[in-house]
Structure 1
Amino acid sequence: MDYWSFGTVIFECICGFRPFLHHMQPVQWISKVKNKGPKDIMAIEDMNGEVRFSTQLPYPNNLSKPLLELVECLLQMLLLWDPALRGGGLDPETNRPHCFTAMHSILNMKVMHVLDMTSAQLHSMILGTEESLHSLQIRLETQTQAHIPPLSQELLQESGMSLDPRWPPAQCLPDGLCGWDSFIVFLFDKSLTKYSGPLTARRLPDSVNFIVRETKTQLPLSALRKVWGEAVSYIRGLKEDYLRLYQGQRAAILSLLRYNSNLTRYKSVLLSQSQQLRAKLAIFKTSIQHDLEQYTKQTDTGISSEKMLKTWQENEKKVDEFMEVADVSRLDDEIVALHSEIVELQRSPFARRQGDVMEQLENKAIELYKQLKAKCKSPDPPHGYSDSSDMVGTIVQMVQNQDRVLKDLYTHLSKILICKRRIVDLFPEVEGAIVKIKASNAEVMQMQLKRQKEFWFLLKIACAQRDSLSPSFTQQSTDSETVSQLLDDNQRYMAQLTSLLQDATQEMEHSVMDQDWSWIQFGAVKVDTQ
């Protein structure tokens, strides 16, 4: 296996150029590179023409710190000048070169990238297979700039869901290097609601820092080509830094929406319980008022109980107290106002990605690099030297634009976190109101059952009094019943007598008319003759 070529390919894939003075002729190259140390993995020629060796990968390289150390160790074994020593020698445990053991470790490692949203620092944590979330949080406390304690840490995935403490964090990572390398967890400090910004931009590479300080200095095109390539990488890195922070903001808004969804569910339960309690109280109060009215009417002639009257009056006062418990209008108004603020946060232009200007500046830097590259390849370049005014101007614009968009991002993020804190503060109040309403509901039911028992008790008393009436009262009742019966008999007899008289009268009328009344006529004639 050609270890040297393999190491060179790895280096070029990471950095974008070959490790050892690729622009030199072979004889000159050998005379320079053979002087490298056993752990040197690269050689660069500075602006003054001096060759400097390094045991580390150049900055920037876009490798996380845990992976960077392992890759540098691997390259140190592959890029040894002595061919017999390349590969790191045999590993007695595997009987294979040590470089294969290093590659196996790299391919099997589990790394979780944690972006601290309070400082915009990216922490890469190597995870054990069974390492708990609490163990990870303790390690983060020591590495974060603000030393955030575990109780104040909130680790959100890109979907807005928190890491489940019941499972090892390593189970959240996607399979494969490409999976976990793009997987980011966002760290928030729950004790803070306002994050400061804009944050300091990433550090400039030494060569890029040189052209920024010496903008008008004329440099060879071959040297500028490498420096401008690093400048393009730096500008792209600024854009990626913003995009990661924007992903953190999106995770925060998604987490806020999850909290808001839970609050809405609690609100529905609260309003339902409140309406049920109000309905029961209205019925119970109407019943109590009716009982008091009826009790007042029959007090003089019926049954009276001061204890029962006092209980009913106390129940009427309790109903008024329970009505205050059922009144959840204040909480309802706060939740509705909070919903409106969340909708406004979602509609805000700062809730959308503000990277258009960054992309334009990145494309401009790439175009400048392509133009410089074309000049270097020209067989007869018009000028062998050039300054870096255009590229430095693009870098300055990129840094200024990043400051502006990060300021807007953190202002919007602070509003999101304030709304989330208000929701968290409302949860205990809503839960407490639901508990009070349920307790009041149960007490109203007990009062209703007690009222029913009191009615049954009154019925028992009434029945007992009826069975134990005095004899005089019984005699009076009997006499009154006899008089009534006599009157009824008298009326019945009078009706029968009237009917008999009418029948007799009709019979007499018919019998008189049937008599011979002719003698009356004879007597009349005789009188006339006389």
Structure 2
Amino acid sequence: MAQAAMHQFAAPMLMPTPPQLQPPQEIGGWVQDRVLGSGGFGTVTLWRHKESSETVALKKTRQELNPKNRERWKLEVDIMKRLKHDHVVTAMDVPDPLKPSVDHLPFLAMEFCSGGDLRKVLSRPENYCGMREIDVRNVVRHIASGVEYLHSKRIIHRDLKPENIVLQEEEGGEVVYKLIDLGYAKDLDQGSVCSSFVGTLQYLAPELFASQKYTRTVDYWSFGTLVFECITGSRPFLPNRNPVQWHLEVKRKKQDTHIRAYEERPGEIKLASDIPAPHHLCQPLVERFESWLQLMLRWEPHSRGGGGNNRATCFELLDSILDLKIVHVLDMHTGQLYSYPVEEDETVESLMIRLALETQMPVEQQELMFSTGMSPDPNGKVSQCWDEPGKDDNIVFLFNKNYIDDSKWVVRPLPEVVKVMIAEPHTLQPYPERKKSYGLSYHYCRLMADAYNQLFKGSRASMLNLLRLQNMLTKLVKEISSSFSTYKGQEAHFIASLECDMEKYAEQSTTGITSEKMFRSWRETQKEVEAVTAVHQEEVLKHESASTALQTKLVQPQRSPLARRRQIEELDDIAKQALNLFNELRQTPREERIHYRDSQKMVRVVLNCVTKRDNLVKDIYTHLMKLIELRKEVKELLPKMQRTLKDIEESRKKLTAFQRKRQQDLWTLLKVVLQKVPGNSPDPVPTNPGGLENRSLSSSTSSVSSVYLEKTCEESMVAKSENHDVGGRFSEMFSSIINLESDSFSNTQSLDWSFLEDGKEARDNRDNTPESVEESL
């Protein structure tokens, strides 16, 4: 946080810190760590406490300042002590041992921001074409918050620039951007309109440049200029020229919507209203930032920022931009990335309709997929497709369910400057031209590596989806096998018990009770069960065979080199080669930059990148085609297997129902027999009910009681004995059935046996109108 103080002075005034030749200075337990920066006003030094390791950045000014600058310094110290905000560097109390003497100007103690300043970030080669989207979002949000806070305190910063924004690295890796250097800040309580000429020229508002009266809208211009540079990597108005050179011409031509000026040809200045490529923002953000910059970079101060009553329009508009929820969808057929702002109540289906209009892919053929291989619910909210900006897996992948090929892949064109370099690799170029072509060459190589990385992630998502389907297939095969095994056990028990019943029935039919309808039903049931079992057996074998063949096919793509990250590393290495060449060029000593050089090394790297990209894209599309074909096969097999599993489960239920029906048949027979037993019931027995044949009892239509009244005592005893024997055979038969079911059926206890109680109640309470056996059956 001392780095904060390091940039309390304008960049042109910073001088390299000479190496310390003497031991570190120590005062009251505080040790001078190093000089962070120095300038016209004085120096900023980092002090560290020996015991607590507490740090403080101490800004000291020179005593020989003129009265105007002395007042300016006192104003800065006074303003800093009054401010407390997350995005304004925090002033601290000067430790007692480090306080100045009474006759010395006051010191300013500040937190130490260890991440450097924004200029250092923008100067990195990887940010030559602008910062990443997530970084742009963070810078804009944090600095807007700091500027709005200053304005709420009636303070104009007047010197917003990358050098006056520092980075504090918080725990967890989060970077916080903070405003520093309020040396030029103006307290509006001294007058809402000011006229002093301050600030750095490149970021200076036109009215300050012209020494006119100004308000806080000067900060809007500087802030807009800074944001444009964060997005594109360069300032908006002729960045290679001094403002004195372009100020009058831009003023003469500029309209309210113009946000940049450039030279199309030497001496020919043009203005435009768009954010130029290349950059790292998605299209929805580009369009909205263009509108916002058109507010911030208006030449006339009174219209700049959009006005507003309680709050400036520019800050409200910025909040709506930064709070925008954007879903990114990568079309795996073309490699195109589509970005859509979405609302909370929007559904995935509505997103698919928008995709259909843009990609010409019908909704019914679309398959959306997350990086995990899972698919969103089409009927659910689109929020399931959105993730916080900056997440690596915040892209949804779009596939066609039926096919994929590389013929629709959209090849990203080379920048024109790079095309010229490749066409004339031996041509000697001045340093500025080579710097531009090298910077764009690196950006292109990095873009190709990132594009292939996204394509690889889509391929990996497809593989993970296929593995999920494979797991479903494996699980389903096991379920079918288990269910069929259970069914076979039930079927074997059912057939065995049925055959036993039929055998016992046949044995007693010559002397007992018969029902051809019941016996015929049993035989038909046996045939039906055996036929269904044969069908299930055939289906299970067919599915097992198809599953085994598919499992063999599924192993191949998993072992493919294209399922690994090695190819991504190849393109990453090429991008690093381009970065190294760009860095070497940037580090060229100033005295040697006057020489012309060719670009053969960079040309070789770019051509290697293009060749490698084309080969990898072709290979990965071949790999993707195999995955899609396999996925189609699995998806065709899964419903068939699910139907088979459902059919087996239904057959198991039918077996249970058949078993129960047969038990009811037997108990109905038993009930009829018991009704015929002498003395068992005073009620009359129906005459030959439903075709029932009772060869051991009289066929007379008279009641059982009247028949037996005519019998001798000896005959009654014989009849009783025979009845006892029949009852014994039925009892033995049902005991056998119950024992068999106990061994083979785990769910026998769940059957409804309440009809037995019903039968008992019926014997005790039945009415005088008897049913036939055939009707009961």
1:126: how far off? 1.0
Cross-structure match for 1:432: 643
Q: Match for 2:443: what amino acid?
A: S
Of the three residues 342, 346, 371, the one matched with 1:131 is: 346
Cα distance change on mapping 1:88 and 1:460 into 2, 3 Å:
closer
1:113: how far off? 1.0
Cross-structure match for 1:334: 546
1:371 aligns with 2:584: yes
CA distance in 1, matches of 2:335, 2:420: 26
The equivalences for 1:296-335 within 5 A come to 306-327=516-537, 328-335=540-547
1:142: how far off? 1.2
1:279: how far off? 0.8
Cross-structure match for 2:748: none
Structure 2 residue matching 1:161: 3-state secondary structure: coil
Cross-structure match for 1:496: none
CA distance in 2, matches of 1:450, 1:182: 59
Cross-structure match for 2:31: none
Which runs of no fewer than 5 residues in structure 1 stay unpaired? 479-530
Cα distance change on mapping 1:359 and 1:143 into 2, 3 Å:
same
Cross-structure match for 1:225: 435
Cα distance change on mapping 1:182 and 1:3 into 2, 3 Å:
farther
Cα distance change on mapping 1:393 and 1:284 into 2, 3 Å:
same
1:12: how far off? 1.8
The equivalences for 1:107-506 within 5 A come to 107-144=322-359, 147-170=360-383, 172-175=385-388, 177-178=389-390, 183-190=394-401, 192-196=402-406, 199-292=409-502, 306-327=516-537, 328-353=540-565, 354-375=567-588, 377-381=589-593, 384-456=595-667, 464=676, 465=694, 466=696, 468=698
Q: Is the 8 A contact 1:215 1:389 kept in 2?
A: yes
Q: Match for 1:378: what amino acid?
A: R
Cross-structure match for 1:500: none
Cα distance change on mapping 1:442 and 1:165 into 2, 3 Å:
same
Cross-structure match for 1:483: none
Cα distance change on mapping 1:201 and 1:47 into 2, 3 Å:
farther
Q: Match for 1:163: what amino acid?
A: P
Cross-structure match for 2:56: none
Q: Match for 2:412: what amino acid?
A: R
Q: Is the 8 A contact 1:199 1:403 kept in 2?
A: no
1:75 aligns with 2:286: no
Structure 1 residue matching 2:406: 3-state secondary structure: coil
Q: Is the 8 A contact 2:361 2:400 kept in 1?
A: yes
1:203: how far off? 2.4
- Give deviations 1:198-250, integer Å, cap 9, x for gaps: 82321222322332333333322112202211111111111111111111122
Which runs of no fewer than 5 residues in structure 2 stay unpaired? 1-217, 677-693, 699-706, 719-777
Q: Is the 8 A contact 1:211 1:392 kept in 2?
A: yes
Which has the larger share of helix? 1
Cross-structure match for 2:227: 10
1:25: how far off? 4.1
Cross-structure match for 1:498: none
- Give deviations 1:98-125, integer Å, cap 9, x for gaps: 4323312212211111111122111110
Cα distance change on mapping 1:370 and 1:41 into 2, 3 Å:
same
Cα distance change on mapping 1:170 and 1:161 into 2, 3 Å:
same
Cross-structure match for 1:54: 272
Of the three residues 283, 289, 292, the one matched with 1:65 is: 283
Cα distance change on mapping 1:206 and 1:75 into 2, 3 Å:
farther
RMSD between aligned residues:
3.2
Q: Which has the higher contact order (CA 8 A, sep 6+)?
A: 1
Cα distance change on mapping 1:205 and 1:54 into 2, 3 Å:
farther
Structure 2 residue matching 1:392: 3-state secondary structure: helix
CA distance in 2, matches of 1:128, 1:27: 46
Cross-structure match for 1:37: 254
Q: Is the 8 A contact 1:197 1:410 kept in 2?
A: no
CA distance in 1, matches of 2:266, 2:647: 80
- Give deviations 1:431-481, integer Å, cap 9, x for gaps: 221232233223222332333344445556777555549979x77x99xxx
Cα distance change on mapping 1:54 and 1:264 into 2, 3 Å:
same
TM-score, structure 1 as length reference: 0.78
Q: Is the 8 A contact 1:116 1:186 kept in 2?
A: yes
Cα distance change on mapping 1:122 and 1:11 into 2, 3 Å:
same
1:29: how far off? 4.1
Q: Match for 2:282: what amino acid?
A: S
Q: Is the 8 A contact 2:220 2:305 kept in 1?
A: no
CA distance in 2, matches of 1:235, 1:218: 22
Q: Is the 8 A contact 2:368 2:396 kept in 1?
A: yes
CA distance in 2, matches of 1:446, 1:283: 14
Structure 2 residue matching 1:274: 3-state secondary structure: helix
CA distance in 2, matches of 1:76, 1:35: 17
* % same residue: 35
CA distance in 1, matches of 2:423, 2:310: 53
What is the number of equivalent residue pairs in this alignment? 469
- Give deviations 1:237-296, integer Å, cap 9, x for gaps: 111111111111222222223333334443333223211211111122223444555566
Q: Match for 1:188: what amino acid?
A: F
Of the three residues 231, 238, 250, the one matched with 1:21 is: 238
CA distance in 2, matches of 1:111, 1:151: 23
Of the three residues 280, 301, 304, the one matched with 1:84 is: 301
User: Larger deviation: 121-130 or 430-439?
Assistant: 430-439
User: Larger deviation: 360-369 or 151-160?
Assistant: 151-160
Structure 1 residue matching 2:610: 3-state secondary structure: helix
Q: Is the 8 A contact 1:198 1:406 kept in 2?
A: no
Q: Match for 1:40: what amino acid?
A: H
1:27: how far off? 3.9
Structure 1 residue matching 2:592: 3-state secondary structure: coil
Q: Match for 2:454: what amino acid?
A: R
Structure 2 residue matching 1:219: 3-state secondary structure: coil
Cα distance change on mapping 1:295 and 1:166 into 2, 3 Å:
closer
Q: Match for 2:327: what amino acid?
A: M
Q: Is the 8 A contact 2:368 2:397 kept in 1?
A: yes
Q: Is the 8 A contact 2:483 2:649 kept in 1?
A: yes
- Give deviations 1:155-202, integer Å, cap 9, x for gaps: 222222222345431365334x545x9721112222x23333582321
CA distance in 2, matches of 1:282, 1:265: 26
CA distance in 2, matches of 1:365, 1:68: 27
Q: Looking at CA atoms only, which structure, 1 or 2, has the larger radius of gyration?
A: 1
Q: Is the 8 A contact 1:79 1:86 kept in 2?
A: no
TM-score, structure 2 as length reference: 0.55
CA distance in 2, matches of 1:462, 1:183: 77
Cα distance change on mapping 1:341 and 1:431 into 2, 3 Å:
same
